[in-house]
Chains A and B, each alone.
Chain A
């Protein structure tokens, strides 16, 4: 079994969409951001309405009701599944089938947050998230929703910068499709890993891949060189005149 945080949806077009589920930490932060926004909003309004006397208390209570129960629902329904807090963290709520939340799902998941809070500080939500595959809290289970990293936050494309690192180098062993994919994925992520961690990860693979006993490149550079070759040559070895994506590299 593969352990990951992906949620798969098959569309009527027969293609599988992959959603990246968000775990408890970013969701808790998003909730905190929303809490601050709501608190400030109600506070400023209460201060501004002082001059209205007792009637203002009534309005403040109405706004407080709105902030407590309707704020997340309105934002999720009209803002493509994102409250301001979720937006700040690049999260969005969608239904299990990948579609935008409707009124029913949003109302359910937000009302049931009360049950998720039990027995205090979202204990039930945390246990439920740990126990379910796509980090669902109780409200998500009942409403049939998941919180994902929103689709517009796409990872930047990996580019081979010409004249940097080693020249593309063919692997000396036959690689399966999954292995090729792993090598290319490593190249895409290497920059985010940090030099020493990337080298550490690449250490064992480097020699197996390029077969060189001596090389002036670091292990990660050697693996990236293989990845470049894999990518440039393609898997069916077609010939390519030019590469649009690498032209723009500085």
Chain B
């Protein structure tokens, strides 16, 4: 059979498949009973057209049709609400525990660095100016002015919303960048985690030095648990990416990178979600007029909850399911 005869016979099926695919792609829900048969036929026609050396244009058309059908037939299902719930109750904490090595490195780097530099600034207060410009120090001291007993933001409730937007834009952005820059053999994540820990340590130490501790700590303790933990988690995710390139094990580097990226994806989602929660707390709770004692209690509870969640959530159900 030559090309023209071939086309005449098969054309009606191709047209039918084309229409069906267009409807599905436009989001309609046509009757798909015929789809598998048409898909198989166009696959066969494509193979025939190729092996007989038919026109490039015809082969290309059939290739396009087969590809579109392939995409429809083998499409993966998008996430559902129950999967989303499963993510927070099981997938995320499990993924964090599975990456415990990277988590340990990130935790030590972040809090260890913060502690070392914080202690250094407490011992020698002038060191603070080595890490921050006088302008930054001044800004910070105004924000946590000890004579006002509360952190000061101009504008009240309006400004709370503004700060919420800012925290989302800034903090989630930092977490995403911390993760992504881990691709450079983990170096980007290393610097990002170390730098953020250092700044936290220096700022806290300096504010202790100038006597603003009882303004600063009630403010940060509230959102600190989700926020700082999320930065550590995104750093750990970045380390894992970088490590896949440094020591790919028995896989090729490209393949190891793919595997690692899939493995840490829950960490990235989770860190993003935690930072949204942290931004909400930071915008609407941390700066509120609630009594300091309450803030300390709530803050401490959040730290315990965060740690408990990441350590224990999703342990039992997994065991049952595996059995």
Contacts and interface: CB of A to CB of B under 8 A. Distances in A.
Interface residues of B, number: 69
A181 B57 CA distance: 11
Contacts of A154: 57, 60-61, 64
Contacts of A61: 162, 165-166, 168-169
Given A99-B76, A234-B3, A118 B181 contact: yes
B53 A142 contact: no
B75 interface: yes
Interface residues of A, number: 71
A177 B53 CA distance: 6
A94 B67 CA distance: 11
B161 A111 contact: no
Contacts of B241: 142
Contacts of B53: 177-178, 180-181, 184, 235
Main secondary structure of the interface of B (DSSP, over half): helix
Interface in B127-185: 155, 158-159, 161-166, 168-169, 172-173, 176-177, 179-184
A70 B75 CA distance: 22
A163 interface: no
A238 B5 contact: yes
B234 to A, nearest CB: 10
A223 B131 CA distance: 74
A136 to B, nearest CB: 9
B173 to A, nearest CB: 7
A15 to B, nearest CB: 4
Contact of A55 (B25, B65, B66, B162): B162
B316 interface: no
Nearest to B238: A115
19 contacts: A15-B46, A58-B161, A58-B164, A65-B169, A65-B173, A69-B172, A80-B71, A98-B67, A100-B75, A104-B262, A112-B261, A118-B184, A151-B63, A155-B57, A157-B55, A177-B52, A181-B56, A184-B55, A232-B2
